[in-house]
């Protein structure tokens, strides 16, 4: 192209356009009080990259990660505020990869962190989401009533 832009400038311009479009879609979706799946679909439909590595997949991963993070924060807050919750257990996703190395999610799920059992944290000690695309899930450990 003869627009005088260097490749980094062109990529920056594309990123800025996509950022503005994404923020606009998020704001419209929030103002219409629509489900998160509509947000995923609108962003996926708007953002395309014919070069192979899709912005669609990156945006879906980001939205999934942020949704998981918000859900976990809510669970943590409920656990902290409840007199019935003794701990929160970190559970590996059924789709968690089996690597040759001990990975952070496995450490969270398989070690005894607060003396409450394997993978169980006191609500106030529950770690943040460890990596993008994490689908591990949390369950409550209740007090003996």
User: pLDDT tens digit string along 119-133?
Assistant: 999 999 999 888 877
Q: Supply φ then ψ for residue 45, to 5 degrees.
A: -70, -35
**Average pLDDT, whole number, for the chain?**
79
Over residues 100-116, the mean pLDDT reads: 88
* Segment 8-49, tens digit of pLDDT: 555 566 677 677 777 887 787 777 777 777 777 766 666 655
Query: How many whole angstroms separate alpha carbon 113 and alpha carbon 89?
Result: 10
Higher-scoring residue by pLDDT: 16, 115: 115
Distance CA 91, CA 106 (A): 9
pTM as predicted: 0.61
Terminal Cα distance for the chain, rounded = 71
Residue 93 pLDDT exceeds 80: yes
Question: What SS3 state is found at 116?
Answer: coil
Q: Residue 140, exposed/middle/buried by CB under 10 A (0-12, 13-18, 19+)? A: middle
Give one DSSP letter per residue of 41-107, joined into a string.
HHHHHH---TTSS-HHHHHHHHHHHHHHHHHHHHHHHHHHH-SSEEEEEEE--TT----SS--HHHH
Contact 42, 32 (CB under 8 A): no
Tell me 117's DSSP state: S
Q: How confident is the model at residue 58 (pLDDT cuts 50, 70, 90)?
A: low
């Amino acid at each position: 192209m003869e627009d005088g832009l260097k490749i980094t400038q062109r990529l920056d311009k594309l990123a800025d356009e996509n950022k503005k479009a994404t923020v606009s879609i998020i704001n419209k979706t929030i103002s219409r009080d629509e489900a998160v799946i509509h947000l995923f679909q609108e962003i996926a439909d708007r953002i395309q990259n014919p070069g192979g590595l899709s912005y669609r997949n990156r945006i879906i991963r980001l939205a999934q990660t942020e949704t998981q993070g918000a859900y976990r924060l809510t669970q943590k807050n409920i656990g902290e505020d409840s007199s019935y919750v003794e701990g929160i257990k970190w559970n590996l996703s059924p789709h968690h990869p089996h690597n040759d190395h001990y990975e952070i999610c496995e450490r969270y799920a398989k070690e005894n962190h607060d003396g409450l059992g394997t993978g169980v944290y006191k609500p106030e000690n529950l770690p943040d989401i460890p990596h993008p695309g994490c689908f591990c899930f949390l369950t409550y450990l209740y007090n003996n009533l």
